[in-house]
Structure 1
Amino acid sequence: MGERPRTCAACQRVLAAHEVYFRFSLVLEGEQDVLDAPDEADGGHGDALAELVQRLEAGPEDADELEAQVHWERSGVACSECRAVAVRMLTPASENAGPH
C-alpha cells in the first residue's frame, strides 16, 4: 500500500504524489505587555490583576475557551499556491516592495 495522499491544510486540495508541498507549523500566542492603569476613581489602590482574575473566574467562558483565545497552534502541509498567499500575507510591505 502506498502513502496516503496529502491534502493542503488551507484549500483542502488533494496533492498529487509528484507535487511539491510545504510543511508548516504556526503558533499564535496572545501577549500583553502592560495591564490597563487602575481607574482614577479607585484612587489607584485597586489590585488590577486580582480584579481581572476575579472577572475571568466569574465570566461564562470555561478555561479551555479562554486558553484557545490566547494560544492557537496548527501544523500541516500547504500547496504552492497557498504557500504564496501565506508568505505574501505575513511579509511586511517594506520587505515585499521591490522596484517601482
Structure 2
Amino acid sequence: MTAPRPKTCAACGRGIAAREVYYRFKLVLEGEQDVLDASGGGEGDDLAALVKQLEEGPDDPRELEEQVHWERTGVVCSACRLVVVRALAPSPTPAGPH
C-alpha cells in the first residue's frame, strides 16, 4: 500500500497531513449577459460588430476566454473551509456593488 500524496491548501498554502480532514472544491465562474446593447441596428449587426471588435482588438484571446469561463479545482484545510463558506454564503443584508 502506498502513502497518499501530500496535499496543500489552495487558500493558505499550508501542507495538509494525511490524517487531517480536507475539503475538495471545484469553482466555475461563467460570464453571462442577458442582452446586448440595443442602441444599434438589428441584433445580427450588433453581434457581428462585437465579434469584429474582439478579433481586431489588442486583447489576448486566452485572457478574454478567462473572463468568460474560469475554472479551478483543489483542496482546502478545515480552517480555510470556514473562510470560503463564509465568503460564498448569501449575506443577510445586500453588500452592494464591489
Task: Provide TM-score, normalisation by structure 1.
Answer: 0.81
Measure how far apart 1:20 and its partner are: 0.7
Q: Which has the larger radius of gyration?
A: 1
Q: 1 CA distance for matches of 2:22 and 2:77?
A: 5
User: What SS does the aligned partner of 2:20 have?
Assistant: coil
- 2:69 corresponds to which residue? 71
Measure how far apart 1:4 and its partner are: 2.1
Q: 1 CA distance for matches of 2:72 and 2:42?
A: 42
The gaps in structure 2 that reach 5 residues or longer are 93-98
Measure how far apart 1:62 and its partner are: 2.8
RMSD: 1.9
- 1:62 corresponds to which residue? 60
- 2:83 corresponds to which residue? 85
Pairs aligned (count): 91
Identity of aligned residues (%): 64
User: What SS does the aligned partner of 1:2 have?
Assistant: coil
- Residues 6 and 15, structure 1, Cα contact 8 Å, conserved in 2: yes
Matching of residue 33 in structure 1 with residue 34 in structure 2: yes
Task: Provide TM-score, normalisation by structure 2.
Answer: 0.83
